[in-house]
Amino acid sequence: MKVASNLPGEFELIARYFAPLARGFPGAYGLLDDAAVIAPAPGHELVAKTDAIVGGVHFLLDDPPDLIARKALRVNLSDLAAKGAVPRAYLLDIMLPKTLTESWIAGFARGLAQDQDEYRVHLIGGDTDSTPGPVSIAIAAFGEVPTGRMLRRSRARAGDTVFVTGTIGDSALGIEVLRNALPDVGAVAATFLVERYRLPRPRVALGPRLVGLANAAIDISDGLVADLRHVCEVSELAAVVEASRVPLSAAACGVLAARPGYLAAVLTGGDDYEILFTAPPAAAEDLGRLSRTLDVPITPIGRMKTPSSATEDRVTVLDGNGRAMVLGRGGWAHF
């Protein structure tokens, strides 16, 4: 289709920047055909996921193009990981405003190349289009799971422990740093928090290892409380979380020590791209071993239970004194 006018033609762009990203995946045919071929290994099926990011909405227009590319890919890989899938390939639609330069494209492709190496995934097809709007990127990613074993939101059981990987809330606080809302945060902590927002680290190695251990899983993109609520809703259960057990980075601890009101942002802010999952308490030992093997923190933060009433909020967060917190938009309060 049509491409932005101050750039090389579409075929030239593909040959120069995108075809090299298809090397090593035979079914991509070097992006020289109209479609790619992909088949799961015997006994496996494909997990398919798409997520788009839009300039000015999900990233800043002057963000470095390699970071934009990596974020676009990683938000998809995070979903695959939370579903227990090993990533294999992706399709890329990129919509380019006429103001973009070829060096922007080069940087964008460089970011993809870097992450392809890191996550062992290949570009297998795509479309490059012109847009009068901001640069927009849609990625459809494919992973592989043993047949019938994709980790679901809906399979949590009453009595399961709720676990999260990594630390929670860094990305939400990173946005606050970018907004200059946290002027007293030190430079090292500020950089760490902003980095966590700019470049998610999807749990690609861990996710597939949760198959057989976790009952339900989801990646945390909407926020810890909202994503746990998604699990509760489709599993027809409720959950209780102890706020004091939610794992925090040193930087986030520092912010909360000075400004405890930011706890709500931590618990609801989103963009964590960690995995939240539920597993029977008996899985704790296996999970501890897995955590040490992969060097990924896995922390129990609560438990799944039968809902006590139809009107109850499915997710209850308890403060340090065991009282239910009300998490509103601007902060939180006790009942």
Binding site for its own copies (CB under 8 A): 1-2, 27, 29, 32-40, 44-54, 56-58, 79-80, 82-83, 85, 89, 91-93, 95, 124-127, 129-134, 136, 138, 140, 142, 145, 147, 150, 152-154, 218-219, 221, 234
- State which residue, 57 or 333, has the beta carbon closest to its own copies: 57
- State which residue, 133 or 261, has the beta carbon closest to its own copies: 133
- State which residue, 29 or 256, has the beta carbon closest to its own copies: 29
Instruction: Give 232-281 as a DSSP string.
Output: HHHHT-EEEEEGGGS---HHHHHHHHH-GGGHHHHHH-----PEEEEE-G
| Least distance to its own copies, CB of residue 177, Å | 20
- State which residue, 61 or 333, has the beta carbon closest to its own copies: 61
Question: What distance in Å separates the CA atoms of residue 233 and residue 230, rounded to the nearest whole number?
Answer: 5
- State which residue, 85 or 248, has the beta carbon closest to its own copies: 85
What letter would DSSP give residue 29? Answer: G
> At 183, which amino acid appears?
P
| Least distance to its own copies, CB of residue 253, Å | 28
Q: Which residues contact 137 (CB under 8 A, 6 or more apart)?
A: 52, 53, 54, 68, 69, 72, 92, 93, 94, 95
- State which residue, 5 or 321, has the beta carbon closest to its own copies: 5
The torsion region of residue 223 among left (phi > 0), alpha (psi -120 to 50) and beta comes to left
| Least distance to its own copies, CB of residue 91, Å | 4
Question: What distance in Å separates the CA atoms of residue 19 and residue 270, rounded to the nearest whole number?
Answer: 34
| Least distance to its own copies, CB of residue 322, Å | 31
CB 308 within 8 A of CB 301: no
Q: Is 65 exposed, middle or buried (0-12, 13-18, 19+ CB in 10 A)?
A: buried
- State which residue, 51 or 115, has the beta carbon closest to its own copies: 51
Of 186, 185, 192, 148, the C-alpha closest to 166 is 192
Q: Give the bridge partners for 216, in sequence order.
A: 152, 278
Neighbours of 2 (CB within 10 A): 10
| Least distance to its own copies, CB of residue 293, Å | 25
Question: What distance in Å separates the CA atoms of residue 327 and residue 267, rounded to the nearest whole number?
Answer: 8
| Least distance to its own copies, CB of residue 233, Å | 8
Question: What distance in Å separates the CA atoms of residue 218 and residue 277, rounded to the nearest whole number?
Answer: 6
| Least distance to its own copies, CB of residue 108, Å | 16
| Least distance to its own copies, CB of residue 208, Å | 13
- State which residue, 270 or 302, has the beta carbon closest to its own copies: 270
- State which residue, 134 or 307, has the beta carbon closest to its own copies: 134
CB 134 within 8 A of CB 233: no
| Least distance to its own copies, CB of residue 255, Å | 24
